[in-house]
Every structure is written in C-alpha cells, then in structure tokens.
C-alpha cells in the first residue's frame, strides 16, 4: 500500500471502510439466518449474532490497522477527541484561546516588525552572492570629509564605515572585474521635483550604472539604468519605484518617457522597478527616484562631491562571481583601496596647502583595511539602532507570553482536576498513562493552534499599530502582511506554548491515585496552581515596572517647558539651493516669502530659521571667546529678524535682529541665558565678542542680545549654550519657516502654499505641519513605548486577575464541604472571607517578593537601553512599590467575588454534598 493511502487511511479516509461494513453486514445476516434455522426467534437471533460478533468498531479498526501509520492514526483520533472536548465547553475554550491569541499576537506582531527590519533579505536574485564593503581605519584617518555613518568597531576599537569616495569606488571597480561586479549608491534626502507642473519633495538616490545588473533586478516597466546612462555626456534619466509610480502616477504605464524636473534639471523617466524593491539602502528608506552618479554634478552644481578626493560618501556593494569567496575579494581589493586612499590624500593636500602644513605625512601603511561582509540585507547602519529597543519590546512580549502560558496552565490544571474522575476511571480501565498524557497534550496543542491562528490575525493589526506609533522615533514603511516566516513563527510558538502550558497539567492530572481519584471530591486549590499564579505575579511586576518607567518618561517629557510657545504655529521647509538659487537671491527669497505670508489674513508674524525647533536637527560649532575659555562651543541657529517675536522666546537683555543686520553690517549674535551663565558667570554678555571655529580668525561676532533658554533639537537634551545669528549674515541654502497664526495653523496651509508658489512655482514646500504636531513627533518613540508597555502590563495584570479568580472560584467549589464544616462549627462569615482573602494575598505577596529581584535583574540587564530611553525616572523603590501595590489591589479585587461566594455557603446544604 502506498504511503499516501496509508496517510489517508490514518486520518480516517480508508478506501476499504465500506468494504468491511458490507462484509460485516453479510456476516451478521448469515449468522442470524443460521440461528433462526436452528429455532431461535428473530429478535433473539439478532441479539445473539450481535453479541457474538463483538465490537464492530474494534473489528473495523483492527482490520485496517495494517493500512495505517499507527501513531498518526492515534494522533488523528486524539485530535478528534480534543476538538470534541473543547466544543463541549465552548466558553472556557474560547476564553483560553483568546488569552493565548493575545499573548501570541503580541509576539507575532513584534516578530513581523523584527523580521522586516532586521531579518529580511533584499528582494533580488541570489541575495547570498551580494557583499557589502566597509573599511577599518588604520593608524590614522585619510579623509578630508565625510557624509555617512561612522562607528567604532566592537573588536578593534577602531573607526569603521561603509562610505567610500567616488574616485575610490572607480579604482576598486577597475581592479575587481575578475572577482565581483561592483556597484555604488548614495541616498538623496530631498529632491525638489516638479511633475505635471506640481512642485513637491521626493526622496532619491544616486547609483552607478552597474547598480541594477549587480543587484540582479529586472524592470517592472521600461528599462533600468545601465553603464551607458552613467556617463558625463549621457542624457539625464531616472527610474522610479513601483510604490512612487502607484502613488504619484496612479500606475499609468505612460509614465515611461515622461519628463520631470529634479532640482530644476529635466530628467526622463525610463523605467519602474518591481514591487517590493526599494534599493539596498536601509530597509526603512525607499528612494522614489534613482538617478546615475553622472548626474550628480547637474543636481548639486558647485557643491558636487563626485570628483572630490578623500571625501567619503558612496556605499559600495558587489556581486561575487561564480566560485569566488568574499575573502578572495578582500584580498584582491585590499591593496587597491590603500593605493587609492593615499593618492587621493596627496591630491587633497595639494589642493589645500594650509591644511597640508598642519597634517602629519601619510604612508601606504596608514591606509584602511578593506572588509567584505555579507550584503544580502543591504545597508544595516540605521537598522542597528532598532536592535536594542526591539530587543526590549520583544523581552516584554515574551514575558507576556510566559504569563499567558502560566495562566493557561493554571486553567488547564483546574479543568484537569475537574476531570480527575474521568481520568482515574480511564486509568483504571487500563488506558496507558503515556497515552493519556499525550491525549491531554494534543488537546493543549489544539488550543494553542487556535490561539496562534487568532494571534496571527491580531498580529496583522498589531504590527501596523506598532509602526504607526513609530517606536523608533520616525515613520517606517515596511510590509507587514503575513509571510511564511511569520506563519512558521506562529506555528513554532503554538508548539512551544502547548508544551509549556500542557505538559505539567497533563503530567499532574494523570498522576492520580486510582482509589482516591475515583472517589475523592474534597481538597482545595489544584496543586501547582499557587506557584503558577505567584510566577505570573512576579513576571507581571517586571512588566508593570517597565510600564511605570515608560509612562513616567512620556509624562515627564510632556511636562518639559520648551521655552517657546508651540501653539498656533505652522511650520514648513524649503530648499532653494537645490533649485540653483545663489546666495544673493536666497536672501531676497526668504525676505519676500516672509513678507507675502505675513500679508495673509490670520497671520501674525513669520520667522525663517535654518533649523526648526524640536526637529531632531541642529548645528553645533566650536567658538573662541575673548576671555579665553577652553573647549568653548555652542549650538547655533540662523534666524530672521522676526524670530524671537514669532516663536515667543522672550528677549531678556539687549536687542533683537533687524533688517539692518545684513552681510554688510558687522557680525552680531544673540545668545541664550545658559550661554551667559556658562561663559560669563551669569554676567551680562552684551558687548562681548567671539569667533566661530578654533582660531581667532576674521571679524569677531559681537553679542547684542540675550534670550531666555528654549529647547532646540529635542525636549530631552539639557539646554546648551546657544548662539543665534541673523539670517542675512549666514544665508542657509535650506530653511524652516514658522508662521504664527491667530487661529488653527493648519487652516493656512493652502494660502501659504499659494503664496510661495506665487514667488516660484518650481519651489516645493515640504514637512508642512503644526509646531504642536512636531512637538508630538519629537516624543513619538517615548509615547509609543509608554503605550506599548502599558498595554502589555495591562494584559499581564488582567491575566493574573483571571487566573487568581479562576483558582479561588474553583477552590470555593472544591472546599464547599470544608467551609460548611467550619461554619457549622461557628466560623463567622467575615472569618471565611478573611480566610479566602488571605489565600489570595499570600500568593500575591509571594509573587511580588519573587518579582522584585527578578525586576532588578531585568533592569540591570537592560540598563543601557533604559538609560537611552528613560527621562527623569529610574528603577527604584517608588516604581517598584507602585507596581507591587497595584498587583496587590488587583489580587484583592479578583478575590472579592469568590470570597463573598464562600461566605454565602449554606452549612447545611454544603454538608449534604456527597
């Protein structure tokens, strides 16, 4: 018999089942006919024949035993049995499944996010053949500048980064043809885009001509970029992502060949990348436009980095040729990297003799070491920052799952005890204990599978919610739909939890004394129930303390005085420099923009500054002060004359900026109070002078005013010495505009857009939002952690309450007789209530006692990430006490109902039971 029919037969779909039945029927009829022929009455004959045949089911099963895989058949039987049992107690089963669904759902939601952010490979052909290059700094650095992430290598303590100069990339590529196909890319934060006459800001990236062939990506429509597009004389072309194509062009195939303006330069769209592909940048970034490196000088103009020697900014990846290892690539390209770096260093020093005079001479040996690492996930720089917060959240979710398992174990134990008679009877009838344990575990497995299915549904919703709450401080777009890894995770979790919550109760329930088991009905709470509840209490305390810490952090941050008035302020950004504005015109543009917007009804005043407040961005500079102060420095913002009035930052001393503080006038500055306190001992800073940089070089800047302290990049950081300088004296190529309104700031979005378009309809405004929204976003991560931890803590506490209630209520039923005796012997109702309460409180207090050291150990393990996340609160007696008191209160609430029920036991009726 084939394995397939054996499998089918095992699951009860035997091809022979009908055969046996017909044969057996014939057999019985023959026997009956014989009996009647021998003189029996038909009725008697029928009865006798049936008795003689014995169990039809057993005979049928034994007949087809040979056709089946016995353990599988038993499993199928156990499964049917389990489903039948669960359907017999629908309410209890649904509750158990719901509890598990919540626990598994929280974990699956997090796993979905972890999977997308940290585990997923790039959606390209054979991603395992991709490598990502980085360098490990030698004795000293050989760079003159950098636009990229540089970190300290864990093992060597030396600097490392994935950014290279473009000339270095070309040199490496020239040496690599036999071992790998190299390609390079670099993100563009904001591109000013004009599509169909509408100006907007999009994201983008520069790529080498070998990018798409190296990654192994095919176009969805049109064609992708090739080497021929990456030449200085090639016509400017771009590809767009599938997502941008859908969003901006509604999936119109006619987009191929369409002209768009990128930073005012006409580009032709030649292709659309496949859905799901967003490049090899960090998974959170999806560059709308991809353009060749050759177009960088067009887009950046004089600020082009393409030919700059020793300026590190492009990421380099490669696809290994067949049979070539990453080690061989590293060996092949190690020397070319050092040659290129040294040559570029010399070139850079030749162009900057002043710096060359200060620098030590470099040799080839100073060059960085090339490292070749797996590249199947693309860049990981920013993703690494999510690791710790995600680990923390995952730990919380795992604790919830543990509480869930303990909780369900408690419930199973109680149900198991209620089945004690049935089980004892079956044991007495000779059913093997192993078989019984397995049957109970299968029952748990069915519950767990159902819970897991529910959990995966919850996870879909949960993962989206998780990302909307942006626990990582900014918006992240990832695909949270189900995939096989999430499904596998769900199945594995179900199996794990079933074993966790199923084995102990099954073991305990079947270890029953046959004689006592069939008779006994007394006894109090199920054995193990109290330790299980205490463990839940202990774990819940960890979650409650975490919730207390994060909720406290969010509350503290909201209570921080920003030092300015964030209400009724509209913010937006512009970057005229990208559209080719030169300094003189930028100043005029800002002035005209302010003038036009100020003229709108509902606008009080307008301010232009380089950096918005609470926007995570700031400028910091070294300063030289007239009375020498070592290591002097300040945070710097460039602001227009109306700034302090518009933001409502009070001027404490001196004057504000005016239109006369322009490029022709002597440099002036306004400082904040912290600046005056730090550098002038609290004395008046007015009239003091300083220089930017590290040397007294050029005209000094004179301090003409002092403003009250205000928060700058975020709410968390201590206010630093801050210098404001007038916009006309240091024109920024991009700026944030703040509009103080009389009413709802968002009502002015349309008028403001039209006012700016009236000045230049190719200049998009972006990041349009109220300052209030900006202030909410700046604490988004903390808010998300507060909500998530409160949610998880709440779930845990609710589960503890359910578990405690269940066990106590069960205890009341089991102890009815005992309580009856006590009351008959003169115990008062209050004494009965006290007895029950004591039971609940003792369990809880033991749990809290266990939980405190567990919490402290957990806090110690997570101290780094906590130090990063917490604000104005720490793990200490206050938070621990609050969590403990809350748990005790919950225990009391959960115990009230069972305790009152116990006190209402009628002694006479109670004693009549059994």
Judged by the rule CB under 8 A, the positions of this chain that interact with other proteins are 1, 16, 19-20, 22-24, 26-27, 29-31, 34, 52-55, 58-59, 62-67
- Taking the least distance from each CB to other proteins, the nearer of 37 and 699 is 37
Q: For residue 269, give both structure tokens.
A: 């769209």
Distance CA 853, CA 420 (A): 37
Widest distance between CA atoms in the chain: 133
- Taking the least distance from each CB to other proteins, the nearer of 9 and 669 is 9
- Taking the least distance from each CB to other proteins, the nearer of 65 and 128 is 65
- Taking the least distance from each CB to other proteins, the nearer of 50 and 89 is 50
Give the phi and the psi of residue 651 in degrees, each rounded to 5.
-85, 125
- Taking the least distance from each CB to other proteins, the nearer of 29 and 128 is 29
Q: ∠227-232-238 over CA atoms, to 5°?
A: 60
Contacts (Cβ under 8 Å, ≥6 apart) of 710: 562, 563, 564, 613, 647, 649, 672, 719, 722
- Taking the least distance from each CB to other proteins, the nearer of 58 and 830 is 58
- Taking the least distance from each CB to other proteins, the nearer of 40 and 600 is 40
Residue 432 Cβ vs other proteins, minimum distance, rounded to whole Å: 17
- Taking the least distance from each CB to other proteins, the nearer of 17 and 896 is 17
* Cβ neighbourhood burial of 555 (10 Å; 0-12, 13-18, 19+): middle
Residue 68 Cβ vs other proteins, minimum distance, rounded to whole Å: 12
- Taking the least distance from each CB to other proteins, the nearer of 63 and 213 is 63
Residue 72 Cβ vs other proteins, minimum distance, rounded to whole Å: 18
Residue 63 Cβ vs other proteins, minimum distance, rounded to whole Å: 5
Do 95 and 454 touch, CB atoms closer than 8 A?
no
- Taking the least distance from each CB to other proteins, the nearer of 67 and 767 is 67
Residue 427 Cβ vs other proteins, minimum distance, rounded to whole Å: 22
Q: For residue 190, give both structure tokens.
A: 């904001």
Length of the chain as a residue count: 914
- Taking the least distance from each CB to other proteins, the nearer of 52 and 912 is 52
Residue 42 Cβ vs other proteins, minimum distance, rounded to whole Å: 17
* Cβ neighbourhood burial of 515 (10 Å; 0-12, 13-18, 19+): exposed
Q: For residue 164, which of 302, 320, 293, 328 has the smallest C-alpha distance?
A: 293
Residue 433 Cβ vs other proteins, minimum distance, rounded to whole Å: 22
Residue 430 Cβ vs other proteins, minimum distance, rounded to whole Å: 15
Query: 706-736: buried (b, 16+ CB within 10 Å) or exposed (e) per residue?
Result: bbbbbbbbbbbeebbbbbbbbbbbebbbebb
- Taking the least distance from each CB to other proteins, the nearer of 27 and 435 is 27
Q: For residue 364, give both structure tokens.
A: 């080839």
CA-derived radius of gyration, the chain:
37
Do 221 and 256 touch, CB atoms closer than 8 A?
yes
Q: For residue 379, give both structure tokens.
A: 């860049």
Residue 400 Cβ vs other proteins, minimum distance, rounded to whole Å: 51
Residue 501 Cβ vs other proteins, minimum distance, rounded to whole Å: 39
Do 847 and 887 touch, CB atoms closer than 8 A?
yes
Residue 77 Cβ vs other proteins, minimum distance, rounded to whole Å: 18
473: left (phi over 0), alpha (psi -120 to 50) or beta: left
- Taking the least distance from each CB to other proteins, the nearer of 17 and 749 is 17
- Taking the least distance from each CB to other proteins, the nearer of 19 and 218 is 19
Distance CA 98, CA 89 (A): 14
For helices 433-468 and 484-510, angle between their N-to-C axes, nearest 10 degrees: 140
Q: What 3-state DSSP class applies to 273?
A: coil
Distance CA 865, CA 549 (A): 12
Q: For residue 748, give both structure tokens.
A: 């002015």
The DSSP annotation for 140-175 comes to: S---SEE-S-EEE-TTT--EEESEE-HHHHHHHHHH
Do 596 and 588 touch, CB atoms closer than 8 A?
no
Residue 50 Cβ vs other proteins, minimum distance, rounded to whole Å: 10
- Taking the least distance from each CB to other proteins, the nearer of 19 and 617 is 19
- Taking the least distance from each CB to other proteins, the nearer of 27 and 307 is 27
- Residue spans of alpha helices (H) in 609-713: 643-647, 673-680
- Taking the least distance from each CB to other proteins, the nearer of 55 and 360 is 55
Distance CA 248, CA 380 (A): 28
| Pairs from 329-332 (Cβ < 8 Å, separation ≥ 24) | 329/131, 329/176, 329/179, 329/180, 329/372, 330/370, 330/371, 330/372, 332/175, 332/176, 332/178, 332/179
Residue 65 Cβ vs other proteins, minimum distance, rounded to whole Å: 7
Residue 75 Cβ vs other proteins, minimum distance, rounded to whole Å: 21
Do 483 and 108 touch, CB atoms closer than 8 A?
no
The DSSP annotation for 206-252 comes to: EE-TTHHHHHT---SEE----GGGSSTTSPPEEEE-HHHHHHHHTT-
Residue 64 Cβ vs other proteins, minimum distance, rounded to whole Å: 7
Beta-ladder partners of 272? 221, 240
Residue 7 Cβ vs other proteins, minimum distance, rounded to whole Å: 16
Do 837 and 899 touch, CB atoms closer than 8 A?
yes
Distance CA 331, CA 309 (A): 24
Q: What 3-state DSSP class applies to 280?
A: coil
């Amino acid at each position: 018999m084939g394995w397939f029919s054996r499998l089918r037969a095992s699951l009860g779909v035997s091809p022979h089942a009908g055969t046996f039945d017909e044969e057996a029927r014939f057999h019985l009829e023959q026997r009956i006919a014989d009996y009647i022929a021998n003189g029996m009455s038909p009725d008697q004959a029928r009865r006798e024949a049936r008795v003689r045949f014995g169990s039809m089911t057993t005979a049928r099963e034994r007949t087809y035993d040979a056709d089946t895989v016995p353990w599988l058949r038993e499993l199928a039987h156990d499964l049917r049995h389990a489903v039948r049992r669960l359907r017999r107690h629908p309410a209890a089963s649904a509750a158990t499944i719901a509890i598990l669904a919540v626990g598994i759902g929280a974990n699956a939601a997090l796993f979905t996010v972890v999977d997308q952010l940290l585990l997923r490979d790039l959606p390209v052909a054979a991603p395992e053949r991709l490598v990502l290059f980085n360098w490990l700094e030698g004795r000293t650095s050989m760079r003159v500048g950098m636009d990229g992430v540089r970190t300290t290598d864990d093992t060597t303590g030396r600097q490392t980064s994935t950014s290279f100069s473009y000339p270095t990339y070309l040199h490496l590529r020239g040496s690599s043809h036999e071992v790998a196909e190299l390609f390079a890319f670099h993100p563009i934060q904001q591109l000013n885009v004009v599509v169909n006459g509408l100006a907007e800001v999009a994201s983008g990236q520069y790529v080498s001509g070998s990018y798409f062939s190296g990654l192994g990506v095919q176009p969805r429509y049109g064609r992708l970029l090739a080497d021929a597009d990456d030449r200085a004389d090639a016509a400017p072309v771009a590809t767009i992502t599938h997502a941008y194509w859908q969003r901006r062009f509604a999936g119109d195939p006619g987009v191929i060949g369409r002209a768009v303006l990128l930073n005012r330069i006409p580009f032709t769209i030649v292709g659309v990348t496949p859905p799901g592909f967003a490049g090899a940048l960090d998974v959170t970034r999806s560059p709308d436009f991809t353009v060749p490196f050759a177009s960088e000088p067009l887009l950046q103009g004089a600020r082009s980095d393409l030919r700059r020697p020793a300026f590190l900014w492009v990421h380099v990846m490669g696809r290994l040729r067949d049979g070539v290892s990453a080690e061989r690539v590293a060996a092949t390209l190690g020397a070319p990297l050092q040659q290129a770096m040294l040559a570029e260093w010399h070139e850079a020093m030749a162009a900057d003799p002043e710096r060359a005079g200060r620098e030590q001479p470099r040799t080839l040996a100073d060059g960085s070491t090339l490292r070749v690492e797996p590249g199947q996930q693309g860049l990981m720089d920013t993703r690494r920052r999510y690791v710790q917060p995600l680990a923390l959240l995952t730990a919380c979710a795992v604790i919830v799952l543990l509480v869930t398992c303990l909780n369900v174990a408690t419930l199973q134990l109680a149900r198991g005890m209620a089945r004690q008679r049935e089980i004892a009877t079956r044991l007495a009838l000779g059913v093997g204990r192993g078989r019984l344990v397995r049957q109970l575990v299968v029952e748990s497995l069915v519950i767990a599978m159902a819970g897991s299915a529910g959990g995966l549904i919850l996870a879909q919703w949960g993962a989206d919610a998780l990302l909307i709450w942006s626990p990582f401080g900014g918006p992240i777009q990832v695909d949270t739909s189900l995939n096989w890894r999430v499904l596998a995770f769900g199945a594995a979790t179900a199996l794990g939890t079933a074993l966790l919550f199923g084995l102990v109760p099954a073991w305990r329930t079947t270890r029953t004394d046959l004689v006592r088991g069939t008779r006994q009905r007394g006894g109090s709470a199920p054995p193990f129930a109290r330790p299980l509840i205490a463990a839940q209490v202990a774990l819940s305390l960890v979650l409650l303390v975490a919730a207390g810490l994060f909720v406290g952090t969010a509350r503290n941050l909201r209570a921080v005085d920003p030092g300015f008035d964030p209400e009724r302020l509209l913010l937006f950004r512009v970057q005229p420099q990208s559209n080719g504005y030169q300094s003189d015109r930028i100043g005029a543009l800002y002035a005209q923009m302010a003038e036009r917007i100020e003229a709108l009804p509902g606008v009080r005043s307008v301010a232009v500054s380089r950096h918005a407040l609470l926007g995570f961005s700031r400028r910091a500079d070294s300063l030289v002060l007239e009375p020498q102060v070592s290591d002097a420095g300040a945070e710097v913002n460039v602001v227009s004359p109306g700034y302090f009035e518009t933001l409502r930052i009070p001027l404490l001393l001196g004057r504000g900026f005016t239109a006369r503080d322009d490029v022709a006038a002597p440099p002036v500055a306004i400082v904040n109070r912290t600046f005056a306190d730090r550098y002038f001992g609290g004395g008046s800073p007015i009239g003091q002078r300083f220089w930017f940089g590290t040397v007294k070089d050029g005209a000094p800047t004179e301090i003409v005013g002092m403003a009250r302290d205000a928060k700058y990049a975020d709410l968390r950081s201590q206010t630093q010495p801050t210098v404001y300088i007038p916009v006309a004296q240091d024109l920024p190529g991009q700026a944030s505009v703040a509009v103080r309104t009389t009413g709802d700031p968002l009502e002015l979005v349309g008028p403001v857009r039209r006012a700016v378009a009236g000045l230049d309809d190719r200049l998009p405004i972006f990041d349009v939002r109220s300052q209030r929204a900006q202030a909410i976003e700046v604490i988004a991560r903390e808010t998300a952690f507060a909500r998530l931890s409160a949610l998880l803590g709440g779930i845990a506490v609710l589960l503890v309450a359910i578990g405690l209630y269940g066990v106590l209520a069960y205890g009341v039923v089991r102890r009815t007789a005992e309580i009856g005796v006590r009351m008959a012997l003169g115990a008062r109702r209050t004494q009965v209530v006290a007895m029950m309460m004591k039971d609940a409180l003792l369990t809880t207090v033991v749990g809290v006692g266990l939980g405190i050291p567990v919490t402290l150990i957990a806090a110690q393990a997570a101290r780094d990430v906590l130090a990063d996340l917490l604000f104005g609160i720490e793990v200490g007696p206050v938070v621990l006490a609050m969590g403990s008191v809350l748990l005790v209160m919950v225990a009391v609430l959960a115990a009230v109902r069972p305790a009152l029920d116990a006190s209402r036991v009628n002694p006479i009726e109670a004693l009549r039971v059994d």
